[in-house]
Structure 1
């Protein structure tokens, strides 16, 4: 299989349109159709429903099943390319959820990539469950997650605990001081499920059958909603690693919950038998990680 064919299929999945996929990849629509047909011929099954009148592209069941495999194939290709270009002793593939990569560890990644003897980092943003699978399959070297799962070949160590607070607009109707969960209308909530423990706590206070204003799957979307001019009544639960982005924002208030949700625990994952060429890089990132986290007021 060719990388361009896999990327074409994933562009169709993401855009649900041949035209928009062509725009995203800077190729013609006929090229998109040709690549998709070539991939289907190689796989031996149809990926996309071809039917006149469909406004958006629909995948066949086999197409839906192939999506995670295509993403895994794409990651493996990029990993292989990075290995080809990098010194084995300096290469390291790391994965973490969005809130960790973007809103906590970015300064550490930047330091590791620009120091005198830099690491050649490959940083991926994945949900916690996929990080376990990627590490177990040897697709990454380290991971940071908010979920503890049992894998025979994975070492899981808690590295910090963080509290979860409430953020809302400064002129919101919620008053000052700690806020009781019962005072918050779930239909005004921007909900990002920070951890399984948080979600269980959340469901004890708000009926899961009542939809929030919107579900989001990344911090950037949450920040955009909270920055909207119409967000007077909006609120969201937010962990400490993200709160520092609001410290200089006079339009956002941070409150404690008067009935606190469980702390969010971040775990560092390593393979029990790491690749020999990655051991040095793993030790380098661990050496820099502890003093980096010490700058924050996390519970250790």
Structure 2
């Protein structure tokens, strides 16, 4: 099983046909078909259904099951090749929950790389529970999360807290401060935050209330906030960036949800200088945000 064979299979799947995949990989169609057949021969089972006149890719049941294995194989192959680069540079592996990675991390990562060009920065997007597992297993050096828990061998440190603010689409009719009772639940763009937020939301809007749409990626929200009369409740760091980027209206909430606390995770036994440098850049960015907004506060207990 080789990288070329795995890449041939995944590219064919993504492209929808052998012909299209061959063009993307700059090989002939027969050559690409041979790579996939060689992979199937080594595995001992068919990955792709084949039929007379069939033009599009259709996977067998075993082919479907093999897809995540193939994706992990390529990721491991990539990491194996990066070991050579680690001789010349240290590696810092960081992760963050979606709201932090989308709107806070770009500035922090840029600052870290500018000040520390000797390091290879590897970033992953993980939910809090996933991040704990990866930090505990030593696969991630530093993770920013929003749902804290007790995990053996992992240190959880409060970094900052941020208010949850109301982001409004065009045509807003709301005053400077808004009470949840004034909001129309059917205009909401709903995103997942924390169990505490969900409890507050269900109390204020009832668990049966239907939102306009439910998203799991903050980047998608930028488009939908352009719809008239829509609203979303989002963390302050994201709200400030969106106001700067899109010019949307941001309002505080009376009797709003509890502030979101962001923690960083690291292994208790690790002494990682690169992680400390990254946190120093993060602290400076938080200090800058604090200077312009009362809705973001660094943690007092460190």
Same-fold call, TM cutoff 0.5? yes
Q: CA RMSD in A?
A: 3.5
Structure 2, gaps ≥5 residues long: 291-295
Structure 1, gaps ≥5 residues long: none
Secondary structure class of the residue paired with 1:86 = helix
1:266 Cα deviation from its structure 2 partner: 1.1
Q: Report the Cα distance in structure 2 between the residues aligned to 1:120 and 1:82, rounded to whole angstroms.
A: 10
User: Which of 265, 284, 294 is matched with 2:277 structurally?
Assistant: 284
Relative to structure 1, is the Cα distance of residues 250 and 204 closer, same or farther in structure 2, using a 3 angstrom cutoff?
Answer: same
Q: Summarize the alignment of residues 42-61 of structure 1 with structure 2, pairs less than 5 Å apart.
A: 42-44=42-44, 60=61
Deviation readout 1:7-27 (Å, 9 max, x if unpaired): 5666677x5x62399569924
Q: Report the Cα distance in structure 1 between the residues aligned to 2:113 and 2:91, rounded to whole angstroms.
A: 10
2:193 counterpart of 1:200: no
* Alignment correspondent of 2:241: 245
CA contact (8 A) 1:79 1:139 kept: no
Secondary structure class of the residue paired with 1:113 = helix
* Alignment correspondent of 1:152: 152
Relative to structure 1, is the Cα distance of residues 221 and 187 closer, same or farther in structure 2, using a 3 angstrom cutoff?
Answer: same
Q: Report the Cα distance in structure 1 between the residues aligned to 2:219 and 2:34, rounded to whole angstroms.
A: 35
Q: Summarize the alignment of residues 31-110 of structure 1 with structure 2, pairs less than 5 Å apart.
A: 38-44=38-44, 60=61, 69-87=69-87, 90-110=90-110
Relative to structure 1, is the Cα distance of residues 107 and 249 closer, same or farther in structure 2, using a 3 angstrom cutoff?
Answer: closer
* Alignment correspondent of 2:254: 258
Q: Report the Cα distance in structure 2 between the residues aligned to 1:210 and 1:25, rounded to whole angstroms.
A: 49
- TM-score, normalized by length of structure 2? 0.78
Q: Report the Cα distance in structure 1 between the residues aligned to 2:49 and 2:121, rounded to whole angstroms.
A: 39
Relative to structure 1, is the Cα distance of residues 219 and 77 closer, same or farther in structure 2, using a 3 angstrom cutoff?
Answer: same
Q: Report the Cα distance in structure 1 between the residues aligned to 2:31 and 2:182, rounded to whole angstroms.
A: 55
- TM-score, normalized by length of structure 1? 0.78
* Alignment correspondent of 1:220: 219
Relative to structure 1, is the Cα distance of residues 182 and 99 closer, same or farther in structure 2, using a 3 angstrom cutoff?
Answer: same
Secondary structure class of the residue paired with 1:296 = helix
Q: Report the Cα distance in structure 2 between the residues aligned to 1:166 and 1:186, rounded to whole angstroms.
A: 13
CA contact (8 A) 2:180 2:204 kept: yes
* Alignment correspondent of 1:128: 128
Aligned residue pairs, count: 290
Larger Rg: 2
Relative to structure 1, is the Cα distance of residues 21 and 154 closer, same or farther in structure 2, using a 3 angstrom cutoff?
Answer: farther
Relative to structure 1, is the Cα distance of residues 127 and 73 closer, same or farther in structure 2, using a 3 angstrom cutoff?
Answer: farther
CA contact (8 A) 2:170 2:229 kept: no
Q: Report the Cα distance in structure 2 between the residues aligned to 1:235 and 1:21, rounded to whole angstroms.
A: 45
User: Which of 10, 17, 20 is matched with 1:19 structurally?
Assistant: 17
